[in-house]
Amino acid sequence: MLIAPPVNDRIATALRGFGPLGILAILVILLGNGLIKPLSAILVLVWAWLSRTPWREIGYMRPKSWISVLGVGIVLGATFKFLMKAVVMPLFGAPAINQAYHFLVGNRAALPAMLYTMVVIAGFGEETVFRGWMFERLGKLLGSGAWAKTAIVLFTSSLFALAHYADEGLAGVEQAMITGLVFGTMFAITGRIFMVMVAHAAFDLTAVAIIYEDLESTMAHLVFK
29 contacts 22 by C-beta, under 8 angstroms = no
pLDDT at 108 (0 to 100): 96
Whole-prediction pTM: 0.93
pLDDT at 150: 97
Residue 1: per-residue pLDDT: 41
CA 166 to chain centre: 17
Span 152-169, mean pLDDT? 95
pLDDT at 196: 98
Amino acid occupying residue 50: L
CA distance 139 to 122: 23
CB neighbour list of residue 107: distance below 8 Å, 6 or more residues apart: 212
DSSP for residue 164: T
130: left (phi over 0), alpha (psi -120 to 50) or beta: alpha
By the 10 Å C-beta count (0-12 exposed, 13-18 middle, 19+ buried), 181 is classed as middle
Residue 147: which residues within 8 A CB-CB, separation 6 or more? none
pLDDT recorded at residue 3: 52
Residue 2 pLDDT:
47
DSSP code, position 101: G
CA distances from 41 to 82, 102, 135, 174, 203 (A): 28, 28, 14, 24, 19
What is the distance between the alpha carbons of residues 203 and 74, in angstroms, rounded to a whole number? 8
